[in-house]
Amino acid sequence: MTRTINVDAINRATWSSRASVRGYASESSWTDPGEQAAVEWVSAHCANEPILDIGIGAGRTVPLMESISSDYVGVDYTPALLQRALERFPQADLRLMDARDMSSLPSDHFALAMFSYNGIDSVEYADRVRILSEMKRVVRPGGYLLFSSHNLHGPGYGETVWKLMPRFTPNPVRLGWRTLCSLRVLPIGLYNYWRHSRDNREYGGYAVAVGAAHNFGVVIVYTTLAEQRRQLERLGLHLDIVFGSRDAQPIAPDGDSDAWWLHFIAHKPAAGTFAESSGGGANCH
């Protein structure tokens, strides 16, 4: 019988650790070519318009998004990470907020709501639907949602503790250093993998399973392109384009991908517009 686990509690504890805060505070650029391509695609539609940046962590995306629009709000639900972001960017409008309940934000306001770095994968699947519903609520008709998600068909799904083993190199000094680094993280990695992998669950189009990040300290959702398309359609959202993490090329509308994760851009329909009837998103301007 599968045990009941609290995915949210596991991940929040990981995000709040000093190691996580320190690591996230050192990041300042794109996670991958696909993320950059996705932001560039949507910024062409939403430049200088209101932007909501969800799951900002220690502030990696703050300057990236403020370069698109000065009408910017960033939110995160981890106090330790948000505090670090405020220290780094005191001029920015950054707020403590859970993406599952953004009732303090107005409806039909933002041109873009973005949830980067696969943050939407850090909650149970039902909560994922709540987050997307909230993102849809706060964007204006014709406005865009941009989020990334771990790919069930990618190499990250099903990683084991072998991930923590040192990579071989014929250089003995380098191999020794890699071995020492592996020995340092192996005990906690083994423990985390043992306690979290027991609860891996597959549901056809998606799975909830331990992830290798943070020494197997997170439990996350992995989804397929097809399942994410269905979910967005059920929520009344129109999927415009998808980028994979490997490169800056969009994925074919009916295609699949072996990327580590996927960047989805969808929009909230603006009924009766020419753009909607022709299959494209309405311009945010």
pLDDT tens for 68-90 read 999 999 999 999 999 999 999 99
Residue 170 in domain: no
Place 283 in a pLDDT band, splitting at 50, 70 and 90.
very low
CATH number for the domain harbouring residue 138:
3.40.50.150
* Residue-level pLDDT at 278: 36
Residue 188 in domain: no
- Return the percentage of the chain with pLDDT > 90, whole number: 78
- Return the percentage of the chain with pLDDT > 70, whole number: 93
Give the number of C-alpha atoms closer than 13 A to the C-alpha of residue 39, restricted to the C-beta side. Answer: 25
Q: 119 lies in which domain range? A: 7-152+223-277
**Domains in the chain, number:** 1
Give the lowest-confidence range in 11-25, 130-144, 239-253, 265-279: 265-279
Residue 97 in domain: yes
In this predicted structure, the answer to whether residue 1 has a pLDDT above a threshold of 70 is no
Residue 249 in domain: yes
Residue 217 in domain: no
In this predicted structure, the answer to whether residue 162 has a pLDDT above a threshold of 90 is no
Residue 142 in domain: yes
* Residue-level pLDDT at 95: 98
Residue 204 in domain: no
Q: Is 24 exposed, middle or buried (0-12, 13-18, 19+ CB in 10 A)?
A: buried
Residue 89 in domain: yes
Q: What are 174-222's pLDDT values in tens digits?
A: 877 777 777 788 889 899 999 999 889 999 899 999 999 999 999 999 9
